[in-house]
Amino acid sequence: MAEKIVKLKSGSIMEEKESYSRAVCVGDWIFVSNTAGRNYRTREMSDDAVEQAKQCFDNIEGALKAVDSSLEDVVMSKIFIPYPDDAPDVMAYVGERLKGIDPQRTVTCSPLGLAEFKVEIELTAYRGAGMADVERREISLG
């Protein structure tokens, strides 16, 4: 029998229109959809890329909290920044928010669905990872 699957909806119009979930949990794995920097309650979105990144994290933290998880459980991150000039400031902020968590990371600078989106973030978490014994290793590449 398959594990229980939980599909979270935030009430976004796009979730219904495009048929997706804010997050999907399969056992302890939590897959958070690409999340924009729009405040889903007020529908407002800043013109500033770092402010959008802050709102992305607020939205993501709400989804993780709804399934008894948190940013500390994040194991993979994908950051989408359409305007390369925004990348240093956005990534500095992302680095602050994920400091010490050190997930796998992919950063892409390519167009998003609408020109007003200056950052979107997708995360994968494993419930309880933040409490796990973590071994950190230095490796030599190349």
Q: Which domains does the chain have, with CATH numbers?
A: 5-126 (3.30.1330.40)
Q: What is the model's pTM?
A: 0.91
Structure tokens at 67: 């399934």
Write out pLDDT tens, residues 89-141. 999 999 999 999 999 999 999 999 889 999 999 999 999 999 999 888 898 98
